[in-house]
Chain A
């Protein structure tokens, strides 16, 4: 069991209450200046990327079907900040944030959304399939729950190959109902695989509220059924996410098996571009959620603690805006795929048998 783990219990101070993993640490003292800058750089880059994307969609640029990650940035950033480049993540349909936090180049992401030959997937994937294996991003995957099984397979692979990699599965609370997730959790638990299940509970599966579709208040409670620790964290607080994720990642890397983190967060916009969320939720609810905006929360904390200045933060925002400008220009100026691409890569080529 998790609380028997000397590594995690001693170094990051974890308690289990009612089967759930709760944090009792003072993570701020472990956050270096460089780490804080990294966190804000990625929070801001995701926010600006998505805001630009919304603008592009609204001005009629054909970027295909997109699911904005805005509002949930702290989850992807807090978790990926604990990973090495060689670690592996599997993402869901709302995956832009995971891609950026894991280090996928925003130029090639934007080019992929434009369906250009220079995109991450050379224009053959689009928003819902962005992949970059060179940074351990195994794919945005729009079949709910499917990515969790791949993360488990990646963790199995790491264990068999003795590679010491950790895998992370990102999924929403909408995946709480699909069998694939439960099968994945079963396999991870019985084989003690180095995998972390990260549930982003943003309150809505398309237009279905969580309280309708999930019969328990905290999805992390499900972890107990798989004999793995489950943590409930404030998904608007990147530091809390980071703190919980490092405990889980350390545990996985130490060979102690899987764990589950439920991040309570909020999706600022509709399910996908063009969806009006006011058909299924109130403005008051949105305003309450936005009052706890994860970027603002981080800014307030670092400023109050005197760890970063307004100037530091603004400089990061400006750099990121320039990167997004560059990404859009790169996408717009890139070539479309050659029509022959339609027929290539259907089968995997074989080398010498």
Chain B
């Protein structure tokens, strides 16, 4: 796919992905809290009042109508369950859990129902379900944008989803890969959870081709070449890794950056190939460290690539604390460039 001159935000790219797929397939529906907004007020001339937390579903109701763009009450267990039931019976629902923090309200449907249906039914059913959810903090450089959201609206939590066999988990990082991975998720015949970083929603802008395209689920991408160390980033952390790599380059250290993109199934091969070349690995993850993806990736590389390593693997996570509210604390919570730089300096002697 050639690079496009047409610039979209991350949120706009997802919107375009959904819109194009809904035009292609009448069995695709969108469900969630305020995916349109102002439900049932069309007779007052009021439609499309909200459009989801990053406006990724704005405008869909005016094109596809309330029969396919379905606002739900605040009932995550009910509507995620209904999406599972609809996916079992011929529809391809795209359901939105507004923030991943709310997954606690419907975790049964995610981890017991959607994830296991195909397996425990002996392959009888396909389950073409997309669960979109916003994650992460809004802080950047010591400021919170759109207000600090505190401990119950800022978590990352993808490890508790990737942990469950049967779920595919993708974490796009740019407008370009957000569109391609969202389309891939919609076309997948099984459940795929798409983690969309709140901060990237409007901050990540980039060239996005207008035509429809699919990026493969289960494939990491080397986004910067280097030969001294591999920095492995997830979602927004890929941008932090790139920023660190730029600074390291000015100091003579050539860092390779791998954007993991899919957490389950994890593309071990691309990560291992990179580590084989660079002989060093730092994994950067916005999630809390215990049982995290960073430590999972580190364990896999230690298991399969130990002989190539010239230094112990480092993992950089948020601390084992809830997400704090105050901007100064939140900025300190999120993994940031100086932490990467000091880790790299310990490893590259």
- Enumerate chain B residues within 8 angstroms of A190, measured Cβ to Cβ: 73
Known: A138-B88, A160-B67. A186 touches B82 (CB 8 A): no
Name the A residues within 8 Å of B72 (CB-CB). Answer: 187
Tell me which of B84, B121, B168, B189 contacts A349 (CB under 8 A): B189
Could you pull out 30 A-B pairs where Cβ atoms are within 8 angstroms? A125-B120, A138-B88, A149-B82, A149-B84, A152-B82, A152-B85, A153-B83, A153-B86, A157-B85, A157-B86, A157-B90, A160-B68, A160-B86, A180-B78, A180-B81, A183-B79, A186-B78, A187-B73, A187-B78, A187-B79, A190-B73, A346-B119, A346-B165, A347-B118, A347-B265, A348-B126, A348-B127, A348-B189, A349-B189, A350-B187
Choose, from A62-70, A114-122, A253-261, A318-326, the stretch at the interface.
Answer: A114-122
Q: A143-B113, A152-B85, A186-B73 are in contact. Are A345 and B122 (CB under 8 A)?
A: yes
Residues of A within 8 A of B184 (CB): 353
CB B66 to nearest CB in A, in angstroms, measures 10
Within 8 A of A (CB), among B96-124: 108-109, 112-113, 117-124
Other A-B contacts than A150-B88, A165-B89, A348-B127, 9 sampled, CB-CB below 8 A, are A121-B121, A121-B122, A125-B121, A129-B121, A149-B82, A160-B86, A160-B91, A183-B75, A184-B82
Q: Which of A139, A153, A187, A353 contacts B121 (CB 8 A)?
A: A139
Give residues of chain A (99-137) contacting chain B, Cβ–Cβ below 8 Å. 119-125, 129, 131-133
**Tally of contact residues, B, Cβ under 8 A:** 52
Evaluate contact between B90 and A153: CB separation under 8 angstroms: no
CB proximity of B286 to chain A, nearest CB, Å: 26
Range for the number of chain A residues in contact with chain B: 35 or more
Name the interface residues of A149-198: CB closer than 8 Å to any CB of B. 149-158, 160-161, 163, 165, 167, 179-180, 182-184, 186-187, 190-191
Q: Are A187 and B82 in contact (CB under 8 A)?
A: yes
A53 to B128, CA, bound (A): 36
B122's contact among A90, A122, A141, A158, by CB below 8 Å, is which?
Answer: A122
Question: Considering only CB atoms, which chain B residue lies closest to A112 in the complex?
Answer: B122
Contact code string B61-72 (vs A, CB < 8 Å = 1, else 0): 000000110101
Instruction: Note all chain A residues with C-beta closer than 8 A to B166.
Output: 346-347
The 8 Å CB contact of A345, one of B80, B109, B119, B187, is B119
- Give min CB distance, B116 to chain A, whole Å: 8
Q: Bound state CA distance, A138 and B113, in angstroms?
A: 12
Question: What are the residues of chain A within 8 A of B265 when measuring CB–CB?
Answer: 347
Chain B residues with Cβ under 8 A from A146's Cβ?
Answer: 81, 108-109, 112-113
Asked if A149 contacts B121 (CB within 8 A), the reply is no
Q: How far is the CA of A123 from the CA of B76 in the complex (A)?
A: 31
CA distance A197 to B86 in the complex (A): 17
Cβ of A157 and Cβ of B91 under 8 Å apart? yes
Interface flag for A344 (CB, 8 Å): yes
| Cβ B89 vs Cβ A138 within 8 A | yes
For residue A306, CB closer than 8 A to chain B, the reply is: no
Point out residues on B near A: beta carbons under 8 Å: 27, 29, 67-68, 70, 72-73, 75-91, 93, 108-109, 112-113, 117-128, 165-166, 168, 184, 187-191, 214, 265
Cα A163 to Cα B188 with chains together (Å): 24
Would A350 and B189 count as touching, CB distance under 8 A?
yes
**Residues from chain A with Cβ under 8 Å of B165 in the complex:** 346
A182 to chain B, nearest CB (A): 8
Does B81 lie within 8 Å of A184, measured CB to CB?
yes
Report which of A129, A157, A161 forms a contact with B120, defined as CB distance below 8 A.
A129
B residues within 8 A CB of A154? 85-86, 88-89
Bound CA span A150–B81, Å: 6
> Which B residues lie within 8 Å of A182 (CB)?
78
A184 to B85, CA, bound (A): 11
CA distance A353 to B190 in the complex (A): 12
* A88 CB-CB contact with B under 8 Å: yes
Instruction: Find chain B residues with CB under 8 A from A215 CB.
Output: none
Given contacts A131-B121, A186-B73, A348-B190, A161 and B81 within 8 Å (CB-CB): no
CB neighbours of A179 from chain B (8 A): 77
The yes or no answer to A60 lying at the interface (CB within 8 A) is no
In the assembled complex, which residues on chain A have CB atoms less than 8 Å from the CB atom of B73?
A: 183, 186-187, 190
Minimum CB–CB distance for A84 against chain B, Å: 14
A322 to B63, CA, bound (A): 58
Query: Which of chain B's residues have a CB closer than 8 A to the CB of A191?
Result: 70
Q: Which residues of the partner chain B approach A131 to less than 8 Å between Cβ atoms? A: 121-122, 124-125
Question: Considering only CB atoms, which chain B residue lies closest to A149 in the complex?
Answer: B81
Q: Using Cβ atoms and an 8 Å threshold, which residues of chain A touch B76?
A: 183
Residue of B nearest to A341 (CB): B122
B93 / chain A contacts, CB cutoff of 8 Å: 153
CB neighbours of B188 from chain A (8 A): 348, 350
Known: A143-B113, A353-B184. A133 touches B85 (CB 8 A): no
Contacts of A186 in B (CB 8 A): 73, 75, 78
- The distance in angstroms between the C-alpha atoms of A143 and B85, with both chains bound, is 14
Nearest CB in chain A to that of B218: its residue: A347
State in angstroms the CA–CA spacing of A202 and B256 once bound together.
63
Q: Per-residue CB proximity of A70-105 to B under 8 Å, as 1/0?
A: 000000000000000000101000000000000000
Complex CA–CA separation, A326 to B88 (angstroms):
31
A25-60 CB contact bits vs B (8 Å, 1 = yes)? 000000000000000000000000000000000000
Give the docked Cα–Cα distance between A138 and B86 (Å).
11
Does the CB pair B122–A123 fall under 8 Å?
A: yes
* Closest A residue to B80 using CB positions: A149
CB neighbours (8 Å) of B75 from chain A are 183, 186-187
* Interface membership of chain A positions 250-279, coded 1 if the CB is closer than 8 angstroms to chain B and 0 otherwise: 000000000000000000000000000000
- Do the beta carbons of B122 and A160 come within 8 Å of each other? no
